[in-house]
Amino acid sequence: MTESKLKTWIFLGTPYSSPSPGENIHETLKLSNVLMDLGCFVICPTIICHYQDLLCKRSYDYWLNYTMEGIYRCDAYFYRNGKSSGVEKEIQLTKSLDKPVFNDILELIKWLKTRQ
């Protein structure tokens, strides 16, 4: 096994319900790809949980608690604009852990360069 070149773990927080799950999943996949191209390992519960929930329904509170675990493991949090009470709660947790929160890709790139 070779050494991993993916040095920074990014939690990608995105709206899910509004305006629609399908539209949000599409935009989230595009943004996740951008972060991957920057060399990040992306944790994106919106994508994973969407498909899992199609097969095995779970409550909103279950998914919120489940996804919060990823924040503890990530180096930073990046979020996509949109109305989301879940994203707001994730940002609060991230800040309480003194981890950086980004909404601007250029700011994230600057921060990533400081980690090289």
The domain containing residue 77 runs over which residues? Answer: 23-114
Domain assignment of residue 13, yes or no:
no
Domain assignment of residue 88, yes or no:
yes
Domain assignment of residue 11, yes or no:
no
The model's pTM is 0.88
Cα separations (Å) of 91 from 4, 12, 39, 57, 66? 27, 11, 22, 25, 15
- What digits encode the pLDDT tens for the residues 86-114? 889 999 999 999 999 999 999 999 999 99
Domain assignment of residue 44, yes or no:
yes
- Total of domains in the chain: 1
Domain assignment of residue 47, yes or no:
yes
Compute the distance between CA of residue 39 and CA of residue 32 in angstroms, rounded to an integer. Answer: 11
Domain assignment of residue 80, yes or no:
yes
- What digits encode the pLDDT tens for the residues 54-71? 888 888 888 888 888 999
Question: Which among 3, 9, 21, 17 has a CA at the least distance from the CA of 75?
Answer: 9
Peptide bond into 19 cis (omega under 30): yes
Question: Which among 112, 104, 87 has a CA at the least distance from the CA of 11?
Answer: 87
